[in-house]
Amino acid sequence: MTEPHLEEFDFPPELKAQPLPVVGISGLDTLNNAVHRNVWEAFNNIKKQNRPLVNFKLITPDHEFPPRKPKKPSYECYIPKGILKRNWMDKHLNHAPAVVIMFYDLDWNDPQWAEKQTECASRVKSLKLTLDGRHTKIALVLIQQDPPIPNGEEIIGGEKSLSLIAECEINRNYLLLLPYNNNVDQMQGYVLNLQGTVYDMANLYFNQLIRDIKSHKSSLNKTIHAYLFIRHSFKIGFYSEMKAEYPAAHKHYAQAYYLVAEVKRTPTNVTEVKVVASYIMYKMAALSFVLNQAREAIQTFHGHVDKYKFKFGNELLLFEHHAWLMTITIFIITKDPLTELPLWRLPVSRSELDLSTIQSINSIFIMPSTSDLSMDIKHENPALLLECCTVSDPLQGQSTLDYYGQRPWRPGKLSAEPPDMKKEKDGIQALQYLEKTQVNHSVIIIGLLSDAIGQFNTYRCPRMKKYLVIQMAEEYLTSRDYGKALTLMSHMLGDYRTDHWSRLVSDIVKPGLYCAMVTASVREYLALSLDSDNLQSVLSNIHRVMNNEMPPVIQYTNHAHNLDELRALWAKNLSHEDNASIELELNPVYSCVRVKTRVVYEENRYKLSVFVRSLFLEPVTFSTLTVCIGHTDVLVASNVTFPPNLVVQLDTEFVPLSRHINTEVTITSVSLGMQTQYRKLVLKFIITKDPLTELPLWRLPVSRSELDLSTIQSINSIFIMPSTSDLSMDIKHENPALLLEWYPITITLSNQGSEPLVNLSLLLSCEDSENIDVSEDSNISNQTTTPGMAKFPLNKSLDSIAPSETYEMVVYVRCTVVTVKLLNVKVTYSHSSEPSIVLSKDESLKLDIMQAFEISASFLSDSFEPITVFHSNEPVLIQPLIACISPCTICIEDTSISIPDSIEMKQETKCQLELSTGQIVTCIASVVIKEPKNLCLGVFTVKWRRKDSSLGLVTSCIELPRVDVQPLPIQLSLNLPAHGLVRTPMTICYTLYNYLSTIVTVQIIMESSEAFIFSGYKRVTIKLVPDTEQEFKFKIYPQLSGLVVLPEFKINLVSKHEGVTQQQINDMVVRSIPSHIYVLPQAKNIELQPLSKVIAV
């Protein structure tokens, strides 16, 4: 669809484009020459990677540059026909190059240097010829391929280059080199350098142009040349923008804008002034955004709108003025696909803007309120329109006019000339005709609205967005897209309703209802009817729909509808199976039926009350009333009729289910069902905790005979407690439990009520069921796995307990670590009269697990000395100590030490006694370790029970420590009588045993002693054969009595011997033989008698 007159107000692409100097690239044959193609690509690449400084254009050899206008001899008699020329910006953006780069393939060492130099020079000259009269700069770039790539700076000063410059007649600085490389990326650096040079050249070019313009200034006359002043300022601004001197550009644009405002407006030039002013304003605002002054840009825009708001010119074309206002308004919010520039992108995140800027942005959208304007366009337009413009279209050639903003029927005319009335009239009529016939306002408006909605969404203005959505819906309605309008309206309705903006709700309901009626949307029609405040007809309309009848036609717009078609549509939709059952969600406080609920616990019953107040003007009957509480539906009443405006209370009992016990149940909804043979309608009132409906504490009690809904405090949730009164549970046990024992717990259930309890189930559970076993078997022994053993949780069910009967059960638990365990006992049961109600009772008990006794072990030598070093083949005494730490007396039935094979048990004593707290008992075992190695001395086992327990024995084991056993190379033992008598000879026998596998030579010395006279070897050297023993017998004759030191027996190694050291032998001697003997005095006959008496005592 063409929109000729709107197009005029739209910003032309050349205005929106970012101005970049045009740089012509000539001499590249991209079609046939691969090298040239790559060079051209490298230039194109700049655009992708960096922000380009210039706009490269490929120029073919036969390119024609825009002709230069003949210079005006004098401005004095020149009268401008318009302000801005339509083709001027385009010319500088695309066609008139600031710089032309001439590419030429030439290496310094080219064999045909002379010929090529001449050819190159001739090309440059012909280029100069075509550009004759322009200030366009020319640069010559030599594409060089030969390695080594020379460094450009040094070579340019060379002889060859100088001759080239001279022949081409170009500036010495404008000869450049481009070392060619196949890799486009590597060439990038050279290309960027080149761009920089070219950019500087372009700046010179524009400086020249600006100077030219400024030179005209003196010859201009303010009265005649007002337009030229504007044009020149604009041009300077534009050139400055080309040079990327944005502040300067902004300054000149601002000057131009100021000059436009000065122009005297007449009906003939008002459009032109307006258009040009807004173009300049666009430039200014765009630059402000570039300069990061978003606020300034918005101010510029505001000021502009304020200034031109009421300058509408011809009354008949008021719509055009509004269109213009609208276009400049939306330019900020629409994203133009042509200009993917960063210019108009508003800062994305909110934090980038300070508050006032947000507000101004808000006000941009709100201020001219786009849709208002566009609606004006529509309504403004008089109905009288015309079938004119038949013969010759006065609008022909509108888009090809020389100047922006002029009327096609009056091109290039001066404002001072009196208008041709006939032409003027035709033109206006033609515009009106176009506006009427060819422009679909709704589409434009909806497009604008959706853009605005997008913006408000970004800036998080939910309410403004909603408002625009409503406007959009109304626009859809106007354009007869009832379905879309209805969808939008019903979506927004909910939000307005939750915030209680009833006035707005009722405003939306009316068109909504109309849309639903026209589109025969059954569900939406019913929903909107219930929201309507026209209560008179609501009920009858609903009844009609329920009975498959079409509701009455509503008139909202002047749109004409075919009644028969509507009827057919309704009939079709009413019989659709989707509409057979409809559920609508309603607010319990703000709907045509108001609902409150209470659930209370009274007299062992949960009482559920529903209060309903119908606002309909007639009595209304519902087939069902159900309440959803705790995810179960409770039918409160069926076939209930509510009189108008009276509160009806309906009570029922809520019977909690087992899953409700110990939870808080909440009423989530109340459903009112209405049913006819055709369809089922459910009004579902969602009960929520709405702070608005929560009554303040100080609300006055109103004493009225009838119920008032507002005074009823709703109670929507209740905690369901388990009923426990009839069953008592008693748990007996004797804390603490001892480690490893089977610990009995007695649970006694007794029925204290008057009726039997049935379906009992007892659950014994433990949160941490590691290391704990449970059993019901009283014969359970201490074995680790027995058939009677179970794991937690233990479940036991029981059929019934008669009144005043008890049931007792004993469970045994065994814990294998010292800890604290928490056991839970839970009994669920029900009364025989109401088996469906499950009641429960639970209790928990704490078990402290502790050890019965502590066992430690000590080790003694043959002579009962504590030892730390163990030697093989020497007897060791193991002495375990059992210290009772249990609070109750325990009986030790048996103890035993089990030893590994490498230890020989000589003798063992066992314990069998009672121990109370703090008592210690010991037993002993004599063992000989046969092999020198690291080994465990065995396991000590105690079998015990509690003194008063009848259960089996508990076996506790403790592992004796590991020890390192040292080897014993040579063993010495002494056979000595228990005591000696003074002056009575006796025989002692030393025995040496060699455990080594080699012969050991030792010297035996028996030192002399004062206390004894002895006979035998005093000093002898012998060989000890492996695994044999050798005896040394001595007859000793004690001289003194008392505890006497024996003569010292020494064993010396004669030579060094592997496996045995002298130190080892000395230690062994000290350890293995006694050093003293008790010598009794000689018995004297007279004294013998009393002595024997003493001994007898």
* Three-class DSSP category at 641: strand
Q: Are 665 and 718 in contact (CB under 8 A)?
A: yes
**Contact, 526 vs 538, CB < 8 A?**
no
Sequence-ordered list of residues with C-beta below 8 angstroms from that of 1067, at least 6 positions apart, any chain: none
Nearer to other proteins, 228 or 373 (CB): 373
Of 291, 222, 265, give the one whose Cα is nearest residue 76: 222
* Longest pairwise C-alpha distance within the chain: 182
Six-digit token pair at 591?
A: 């709907």
Nearer to other proteins, 506 or 658 (CB): 506
DSSP state at residue 282 = H
Question: CB 697 → other proteins: shortest distance, Å?
Answer: 11
Which of 407, 497 has the CB closer to other proteins?
497
Beta strands in 603-713 (DSSP E): 605-614, 620-629, 632-642, 647-654, 664-675, 680-686
Angle between helices 462-478 and 355-366 (to 10 degrees): 10
CA-based radius of gyration for the chain: 58
CB of 260 to other proteins, least distance (A): 22
Q: List the structure tokens of 46.
A: 């700049």
Q: Which is nearer to other proteins, 309 or 345 (CB)?
A: 309
Distance CA 776, CA 1063 (A): 64
CB of residue 67 to other proteins, shortest distance in Å: 48
Binding interface with other proteins (CB under 8 A): 309, 355, 358-359, 362-363, 366-369, 460-464, 466-467, 470, 499-501, 503-504, 507, 691-692, 696, 698-700
Min dist. Cβ of residue 51 to other proteins (A):
34
Of 494 and 866, which CB lies nearer to other proteins in the complex structure?
A: 494
Residue 179, SS3?
strand
As measured in angstroms, the least distance from the Cβ of 519 to other proteins is 24
Q: How far is the CB of 368 from other proteins (least distance, A)?
A: 6
Minimal distance, residue 448 CB to other proteins, in Å: 16
Between 148 and 691, CB nearer to other proteins: 691
Going by C-alpha positions, the residue among 1059, 867, 895, 865 that lies closest to residue 963 is 867
Closest CA to 458 of 580, 344, 307, 350: 350
Q: How far is the CB of 496 from other proteins (least distance, A)?
A: 8
Residue found under tokens 């209740």: 718
CA atoms of 103 and 177, how far apart (whole Å):
9
Q: What does the alpha-carbon distance between residue 493 and residue 502 come to, in Å, rounded to a whole number? A: 10
Shorter beta-carbon distance to other proteins: residue 247 or 696? 696
Query: Whose CA is closest to 346, among 201, 459, 200, 264?
Result: 459
- What six digits make up the tokens of 842? 């639970």
Q: Which is nearer to other proteins, 75 or 501 (CB)?
A: 501
The nearer residue to other proteins, 48 or 503, going by C-beta atoms, is: 503
Distance CA 480, CA 496 (A): 24
- CB closer to other proteins, 461 vs 1051: 461
- Cβ distance to other proteins smaller for residue 710 or 717: 710
Tokens (6 digits) for 857: 């072990």
| DSSP character string of 197-238 | HHHHHHHHHHHHHHHHHHHHGGG--TTT-HHHHHHHHHHHHH
Residues 6 or more apart in contact with residue 944 via CB below 8 angstroms: 852, 853, 890, 891, 892, 893, 953, 954, 956
Nearest residue (CB) to other proteins, 187 versus 461: 461
**Minimum distance, C-beta of residue 712 to other proteins, in the bound complex (Å):** 14
Cβ 471 to other proteins shortest distance, Å: 9
Q: Which is nearer to other proteins, 129 or 698 (CB)?
A: 698
Report, in Å, the least distance between residue 503 CB and other proteins: 5
- Minimum Å gap between C-beta 301 and other proteins is 13
Q: Which is nearer to other proteins, 31 or 700 (CB)?
A: 700
Q: Name the 3-class secondary structure at 352.
A: helix
What string of DSSP letters covers 970-1016? EEEEEE--SEEETT--EEEEEEEEE-SSS-EEEEEEE---SSEEEES
Contact between 508 and 527 under an 8 Å Cβ cutoff? The reply is no
Quick one: 964 exposed, middle or buried, by C-beta within 10 A (0-12, 13-18, 19+)?
exposed
Residue 505 or 852: which CB sits closer to other proteins?
505
Least Cβ distance, residue 346 to other proteins (angstroms):
16
**Which is nearer to other proteins, 348 or 1094 (by Cβ)?**
348
Least distance CB 588 / other proteins (angstroms): 16
Neighbour-count burial for 926-957, b at 16+ CB within 10 Å, e otherwise: bbebeebeebebbebbbbbbbeebebbbbebe
Question: Within 10 A of 871 (CB to CB), how many other CB atoms are there?
Answer: 22
Closest distance of CB 207 from other proteins, Å: 43
Q: How wide is the angle at C-alpha 103 spanned by C-alphas 100 and 108, nearest 5°?
A: 135
Q: Which is nearer to other proteins, 632 or 693 (CB)?
A: 693
CB of 357 to other proteins, least distance (A): 12
Element (H, E) at 617: none
620 Cβ contact list (under 8 Å, min separation 6) = 539, 593, 614, 641, 642
Least distance in Å: CB of 694 to other proteins? 9
Copy the structure tokens of residue 62: 């036969």
Name beta bridge partners: 796.
762
Is the CB of 356 or the CB of 575 nearer to other proteins? 356
Q: How far is the CB of 466 from other proteins (least distance, A)?
A: 8
